[in-house]
Amino acid sequence: MHAPTSPRPVASKKKSRKAFWLKQLHMWHWMSSAISLIGLVLFAITGFTLNHAADIEGSPVVSEKTAQMSPALLGQLAGAEPANGKAVLPPPVAEWVEANFPVRARAEAEWSADEVYLPAARPGGDAWVAIDRATGAASAEITDRGWISYLNDLHKGRNSGGEWSLFIDVFSFACLIFAVTGLFLLWLHAAKRKSTWPLVGAGLAIPAAIAIVFIH
């Protein structure tokens, strides 16, 4: 007569599998939290400042600057006139603009018969450069609305460039991983923490109730 098979190997295998996935969840949770930590702090602070934008207003500082373009660069500008009235500046002209004015000159400029107008909006401010096509005289106006406006514009991705847009995508993905792994960890530990699901439910019910009742 054979002895009954012990259930210990099966139980041990299940325990080992659970430990493996728990380890994976913890690893992905802390890695995503490390990646998104500074971004979460930034977006939390700017979420507050944007919510109270009318109460936290900066005082714009406007400055003006002029410069004179050389005849050689003016010739390159004349030879680059677009057919549709809009085009980026020739690279040597763009480099000259960036060297003389605190702006990025890689955006599309507006060309008219008299001048080339380059809008150069940036986070936390605004700017433009105008180049007289006959004389090469260039003038610029730069508006700085302060660091709070700068951070608010980063929050919205306003005029912040493709690199910052890529960072927001990576940050959003890291936050999603952080939230999903956190949800699974809550589920694994919920049996020992009775208030887990009531708190999770409140996190859903409170904003939903505010949206339904107070937002029209």
Task: Evaluate whether residue 92 is within a structural domain.
Answer: yes
Closest CA to 66 of 100, 98, 96, 89: 100
Task: Evaluate whether residue 2 is within a structural domain.
Answer: no
Task: Evaluate whether residue 86 is within a structural domain.
Answer: yes
For residues 18-31, give the mean pLDDT.
87
Place of tokens 């390159």: 76
Q: DSSP 3-state helix, strand, coil percentages of the chain (rounded to 5)?
A: 55, 15, 25
Decide which of 129, 145, 161 is a domain's last residue: 145
18 band by pLDDT with thresholds 50, 70 and 90: confident
Percent of the chain residues past pLDDT 70, beyond the cut: 95
pLDDT at 49: 94
- Tens of pLDDT along 100-153? 999 999 889 999 989 999 999 999 999 999 999 999 999 999 999 999 999 999
Task: Evaluate whether residue 3 is within a structural domain.
Answer: no
84 and 130 part of one domain: yes
- Tens of pLDDT along 157-176? 999 988 999 999 999 999 99
The residue among 30 and 21 whose pLDDT is bigger is 30
pTM above 0.85, yes or no: no
Q: Whole domain around residue 124: which residue ranges?
A: 61-145
- Rounded to an integer, what is the distance from CA 165 to the centroid of its chain? 5
101 and 166 part of one domain: no
Round to whole Å and give the CA distance between 129 and 105: 9
Assigned token pair, 66: 């002029």
177 and 111 part of one domain: no
Round to whole Å and give the CA distance between 45 and 36: 14
Decide which of 124, 145, 166 is a domain's last residue: 145
pLDDT at 14 over 80: no
Kindly state the helix (H) or strand (E) to which residue 101 belongs, with its residue range.
none
Neighbours of 168 (CB within 10 A): 16
Task: Evaluate whether residue 179 is within a structural domain.
Answer: yes
Decide which of 92, 123, 145 is a domain's last residue: 145
188 band by pLDDT with thresholds 50, 70 and 90: confident
34 and 109 part of one domain: no
The tally of domains found in the chain comes to 2
At residue 18, the 3 state secondary structure works out as helix
pLDDT at 6 over 70: no
pLDDT at 1 over 60: no
For all residues of the chain together, what is the average pLDDT?
89
